[in-house]
Amino acid sequence: MKKILTFFLIVSLFTSNIRADEGMWFLPLIQKLNMKKMKDLGLKLTAEDIYSINHSSLKDAVIIFGGGCTGEIVSDKGLIFTNHHCGYGTIQKLSSLEHNFLKDGFWAKSLEEEMPAPGISATFMKYMKDVTDQINAVVTDDMSEEERGEKIREVNAKIVEKAIDGTTYNAMVRSFFAGNQFFLVVYEKFSDVRFVGAPPSSIGKFGHDTDNWMWPRHTGDFSIFRVYADADGNPAAYSPDNKPYKPAHHLPVSIKGVETGDFAMTLGYPGSTDRYLTSWGIEERMNITNHARIKVRGIKQDIWKKDMMSSEKIRIQYASKFSRSSNYWKNSIGMNRGLEKLDVISKKQKLEARFDKWANSTSVSKEKYGDALEGLKTGYQGRAASMYANSYLIESFLRGTEIFGFSLLAKRLEEALQSGEQEKIDKIVEGMKISEKSFYKDYSAKTDHKVMAAMLELYHTDIDKKYYPEFYKIIDKKFKGDFEKYSDVIFEKSIFTDEARFNAFLDNPKLKILEKDLVFQGGKAVLDTYMNLRDMQKESSKKISQDNRLFQAGLMEMAPELIQYSDANFTMRLSYGVVGDYEPRDAVIYKEYTTLKGVMEKEDPNNFEFIVADKLKELYNTKDYGRYADKKGYMPVCFTTNNDITGGNSGSPVINGNGELIGLAFDGNWEAMSGDIAFEPDLQKTICVDSRYVLFIIDKYAGAQNLIDELTIVE
């Protein structure tokens, strides 16, 4: 296989052409690619200070928090700062009507008061290593996608096995540039993480969904956890004998403040971008994926919200679910709006025309890249209909109607009951009893009942009948097409819709009862339809994967300046820029910071999204800001930079030129929701909660002096 020019050789020639604020960069390459630009903007550190394998560096203080956020270590006792919305699910799980930490907040005044956070982990990246040559040595141009994938998996397994041998690490090989480059990434994962503190939602989620993705913002979006290890500092399951973890590096916290033009960088784990997506891929995202998400979630969320407003219990049960659902519902609305406004499809089409002309300009490039664009077009068109149905199926029945997904936990039990193996049956039942406690704690059957009826009707109306799950035949035959009556019977009789009925079934599980249950039948029908739709897309998806790899490789050869950094894929990246304001539209300029005064101006005691706690109002009225006030006298809350981030960067440390924490990244701005696909340099902003506001809340609002004493504070 002719080796494609490596990322390093290409971008080192063109780095000077890119704006400082665009790009999610590999840490091992920043010395050659980014340091001059960062130094010019105000960085005082060396590349070794940021990323080192052999010595303590900034990357040692940055973690994957849980499964989809970033966090940072801020003390020598493993204290973690992350966003409130990143800890929200855990805070909700630990809450009850008697101890509502979402409403009231929580502050551990000692290690003994810190609460285990089941399911949350802290993962440290140890190092990254380019292994592209090892992969390229075993793949050839004439391999099928299946053969290529199998060879890559074989080599990956050997690389990973060698990397973690004799260690407590885990590792994976990740592909970049659509499979044109590969890096080994080695991690150490700690599973004993404990909840230390969080402000009430009136601070940590101030503005809720109304302000989500918006600027100006006045949200104290932070929460505090701690990572624990065994006596030797190694990862260990929860034990009261575990000790706070001593990290290789922790971030000092600056309360010196920020000003326009100050250098700012983020280290974190951006989840997914598609900056090199073709016009056909963008059309699919807008008209299929985003469309389904916007329409279906909008209906579901209206039902959830109405029930949440009528019951404090349901509000607690659905708080985290609603937040997760609405976050990318609103993002999808903004993305479609932004892509249309910026005319991104037209711009992509012009690039594709340029690529097509270049690819067919020589016999060599034509042989390799001449069919790539046509293949992509054919692939996207070939899966459009099944993709549309699948997007609706996922949103309606796998992410919409909760009970169908829950019922699928019983599939293994069905198989065990069919085999009659009592030991296997008992083991599965034991596991299901654990799962059901978590499910029913946060489940409202009356709410899901309403959602099911709405989802059944919506899917029936919008999707071609050839893509219907089997239960639509039952609805037509036995219920005369009445979705309400079908839902009524399900929620009245199913073993899954009532916790007592479900536990009674688990105490004496019978195959006949399970197989006749309408919810279980429905769950299996949804799963079968999902798998069938995926099979319909299989060949088209393989074609898209292959031709996208060729397209990105061809772009590297045709115009290296257009493809300088890989799309995000939840590996650690660095982005950099400066603190600054922006102009969202004609005659409007948004300042780069917000203050506590703005919180008071937004207060609405009749709207839960904008309630302000009495203690916070008292601190504001007396101007009791302690040492955290800005030198101009106001209490800062949030600020904006032009750093390049996306989902997964939530909780990422925002670091100044001296390597000190100045804030936590928690959002992007509404005007640039197209950023995952098309970076908009004049509008793209990272919204950050100011470290001074974080410490002000911990100290003056919560009185958690024990946590303040633990930090390294730079004044």
Per-residue pLDDT tens over the stretch 346-376: 999 999 999 999 999 999 999 999 999 999 9
Give the CATH number, domain containing residue 661. 2.40.10
Q: Please check whether residues 535 and 588 belong to one and the same domain.
A: no
Query: What angle in degrees, to the nearest 10, is found between the helix axes of 312-341 and 291-310?
Result: 150
Query: Which residue among the candidates 650, 652, 674, 691 is catalytic per the annotation?
Result: 650
Query: Which residue among the candidates 57, 75, 85, 209 is catalytic per the annotation?
Result: 85
Any domain includes 364: yes
Confidence at residue 32, expressed as pLDDT on a 0 to 100 scale: 87
Q: Please check whether residues 536 and 577 belong to one and the same domain.
A: no
Per-residue pLDDT tens over the stretch 175-192: 999 999 999 999 999 999
Cα-based angle 3, 140, 556 (whole degrees, multiple of 5) = 35
Q: Please check whether residues 597 and 691 belong to one and the same domain.
A: yes
Any domain includes 560: no
Q: Please check whether residues 39 and 84 belong to one and the same domain.
A: yes
Per-residue pLDDT tens over the stretch 628-639: 999 999 999 999
Residue 378's CB: how many other CB atoms inside 10 A? 16
Any domain includes 246: yes
Rg (CA), the chain: 26
Confidence of residue 388 (pLDDT cuts 50, 70, 90): very high
Q: Identify the three-state secondary structure at position 228.
A: strand
Can you give the residue range of the structural domain that contains 166? 28-250
Annotation marks residue 356 as catalytic: no
Where does a domain end: 235, 250, 265? 250
Confidence at residue 43, expressed as pLDDT on a 0 to 100 scale: 97
Q: Please check whether residues 304 and 234 belong to one and the same domain.
A: no
Confidence of residue 164 (pLDDT cuts 50, 70, 90): very high
Judge whether residue 233 has pLDDT over 90: yes
Q: Please check whether residues 98 and 222 belong to one and the same domain.
A: yes
Per-residue pLDDT tens over the stretch 10-55: 333 333 344 446 899 999 999 988 999 999 999 999 999 999 999 9
Q: How large is the average pLDDT for residues 419-430? A: 95
Any domain includes 427: no
Q: Please check whether residues 537 and 595 belong to one and the same domain.
A: no
Q: Identify the three-state secondary structure at position 225.
A: strand
Q: Please check whether residues 349 and 454 belong to one and the same domain.
A: yes
| Share of residues in the chain with pLDDT > 70 (%) | 97
Query: Which residue among the candidates 21, 60, 221, 690 is catalytic per the annotation?
Result: 221
Any domain includes 565: no
Residue 518's CB: how many other CB atoms inside 10 A? 21
Cis ω on the peptide bond leading into residue 247 (within 30° of 0)?
A: no
Short-list 594, 590, 605, CA closest to 671: 590
Confidence at residue 22, expressed as pLDDT on a 0 to 100 scale: 87
Annotation marks residue 221 as catalytic: yes
Q: Please check whether residues 532 and 577 belong to one and the same domain.
A: no
Any domain includes 296: yes
Q: Please check whether residues 122 and 242 belong to one and the same domain.
A: yes
Short-list 177, 222, 266, 171, CA closest to 545: 177
Q: How large is the average pLDDT for residues 485-491? A: 97
Short-list 353, 389, 393, CA closest to 373: 353
Short-list 390, 670, 672, 434, CA closest to 538: 390
Long-range contacts of range 553-557, CB-CB < 8 Å, 24 or more positions apart?
553/4, 553/177, 553/178, 553/180, 553/369, 554/355, 554/358, 554/359, 554/365, 554/368, 554/369, 554/372, 555/276, 555/355, 556/4, 556/5, 556/10, 556/177, 556/180, 557/4, 557/5, 557/365
Q: Specify the number of domains making up the chain.
A: 3
Confidence at residue 21, expressed as pLDDT on a 0 to 100 scale: 67
Where does a domain end: 233, 250, 267? 250
Q: Please check whether residues 47 and 107 belong to one and the same domain.
A: yes
Distance set, CA 157 to CA 141, 145, 162, 177, 183 (Å): 22, 18, 9, 21, 13
Q: What is the mean pLDDT of the chain?
A: 94
Burial 79-116 (b: 16+ CB within 10 A, else e): bbbbbbbbbbbbbbbbbeeeebbbbebbbbeeeeebee
Any domain includes 530: yes
Residue 600: DSSP 8-state: H
Any domain includes 432: no
Q: Do the beta carbons of residue 609 and residue 207 sit within 8 Å?
A: yes
Per-residue pLDDT tens over the stretch 268-292: 999 999 999 999 999 999 999 999 9
Q: Please check whether residues 542 and 602 belong to one and the same domain.
A: no
> Which structure tokens are listed for 251?
């971030």
pTM above 0.85, yes or no: yes
Confidence at residue 141, expressed as pLDDT on a 0 to 100 scale: 85
For the chain, the maximum distance between any two Cα atoms, rounded to a whole number of angstroms, is 76
First to last CA, the chain: 57
